[in-house]
Structure 1
Amino acid sequence: MTTIAIIGAGRGLGAAVARKFGAEGFAVALLSRNQQHVDDLAADLTGDGLDARGYAADVRDPKSLTAALDRAAQDLGPIEVLEYSPIPQPEFLRPVLETTIDDLAAAIEFSVYGPVTAVGQVLPGMRTLGRGSILFANGGSGARPNPKVAGTSIAFAGEAAYARMLHDTLASESIQVGQLIIPGAIKPGHPTHDPDVLAGRLWHLHTHPDEFRVFADDMPPAA
């Protein structure tokens, strides 16, 4: 059995992705900063018949992130899929004229350094398997900069550029890299923004290596 590692696992999108990929035969590693949170989520998934475990990791702490991914691979099996979608912190969501250097440094640690660290940890295992997927989920500012949320707009631009370069570089190795853009809020029961629907879009990216970016729905017009 191989593993999907979900970084930023929560009870919305993260749980839906866990259930979708778990139903397709993957073991599930759940990563977030709070060990109790991921332990509780893992218990729910295990109760549904999935093989899931939780690991505490801070995406802004490379040592904790690499250690958690290493433990997950040892416990559950090699990581074939990495899904990166931690929720941005409030200081990343300030208007551009209120955003400080410290805010940007934190946002870039979160959305650029974190993915680079995670990919560096899991890529050797994917190469050994001869396959893999690296999947990113971002809000609308990942595709269109929004001056109301400057930190994420700047950091997501870097994340998207990194992901696009990975997509182009790793395609020849059967390692897919894709990005799901989710304009607006995730809403249970919504026809396009329900967590299960979004998990299906990530599964689509995993199974369609020719595609890089998909959208949950159309981006709203620019203001």
Structure 2
Amino acid sequence: MTTFALIGAGPGLGLATARRFGTAGHTVALIARNTEKLDSLTAELARGGIKARGFAADVLDIESLAAALYTAGTSLGPVEILQYSPVPRADFMQPVLDTGADDLDAPLAFSVKGPVTAVKAVLPGMRDLGRGTVLFVNGSSAARPNPNVAGTSVAFAAESAYARMLHDALAPQNIHVAQLIVPGAIRPDAEHSSPDVLAQRLYAIHTERDGFRHYSEPLPD
């Protein structure tokens, strides 16, 4: 049995994707900072018959992130699918003219050092399996810079570049890397961007392995 590892576990999209991949037969590793939240999510998944375990880590602390993924892989089974979708902090989203050089340190660590650390941690296991999927979930500023949220615009652009390079470099090894852009808010009543709809979309990206960048809905003009 292989593992679906979710970085940025939460009660919305995180829980929905964990449930979707868990229902497909994968064990689930939930990674987030808050242990109480992790306990609640694992209990919710267990009620649905899904084997899940929480691992506390902060994406800004690369040692804790690498350790969590290593422990997940050794205790639950090798990570076949990695989803990187933590929610950026509010202080990353300042107007461009109010953003100084130091203000970019945390967003870039969040969106570049975190993904690099995570991928490096799971890649040996994927290579041993002979297959794997890495899923990045980003807001619209990853595809269209927004001067009102400069930190995430800069950091998501860097994350997108890294993910695209991974897509090209790892495809010959049967490891599919893809990005899902969600332009609007994730809401239960959203036609294209509800947690359940997005979870199904991410599962389809994993199984169909078609292309790098996907959109939950078109970007508004």
The TM-score, its normalising length taken from structure 1, stands at 0.97
1:43 partnered with 2:43:
yes
* Aligned-partner Cα distance in 2 for 1:12–1:103: 28
* Aligned-partner Cα distance in 1 for 2:47–2:72: 19
* Residue deviations 1:8-35 (CA, integer Å, cap 9, x gap): 0100000010011011111000000111
Aligned residues: CA RMSD: 0.7
* Aligned-partner Cα distance in 2 for 1:151–1:92: 5
* Aligned-partner Cα distance in 2 for 1:25–1:189: 27
In structure 1, the residue matched to 2:83 is: 83
Residue identity opposite 2:92 in structure 1: F
Is residue 171–residue 209 contact of structure 1 (8 Å, CA) maintained in 2? no
Q: How far 1:102 moved relative to its partner?
A: 2.2
Is residue 187–residue 193 contact of structure 1 (8 Å, CA) maintained in 2? yes
Aligned length: 221
Residue identity opposite 1:109 in structure 2: A
User: More displaced, 122-131 or 193-202?
Assistant: 193-202
Q: How far 1:40 moved relative to its partner?
A: 1.1
Q: Percent identity over the alignment? A: 59
Residue identity opposite 1:131 in structure 2: R
Task: Write the mapping of 1:155-170 to structure 2, written as runs, cut at 5 A.
Answer: 155-170=155-170
In structure 1, the residue matched to 2:126 is: 126
In structure 1, the residue matched to 2:70 is: 70
In structure 1, the residue matched to 2:23 is: 23
* Residue deviations 1:84-130 (CA, integer Å, cap 9, x gap): 00000011111101112222110000000000000000000000000
1:193 partnered with 2:193:
yes
The TM-score, its normalising length taken from structure 2, stands at 0.98
* Aligned-partner Cα distance in 1 for 2:170–2:148: 34
In structure 2, the residue matched to 1:150 is: 150
* Aligned-partner Cα distance in 2 for 1:40–1:177: 30
In structure 2, the residue matched to 1:2 is: 2
Q: How far 1:78 moved relative to its partner?
A: 0.4
Q: Which ranges in structure 1 are unaligned for 5 or more consecutive residues?
A: none
In structure 2, the residue matched to 1:135 is: 135
In structure 1, the residue matched to 2:202 is: 202
Q: How far 1:210 moved relative to its partner?
A: 3.0
Q: How far 1:200 moved relative to its partner?
A: 1.1
SS of structure 1 residue aligned to 2:63: helix
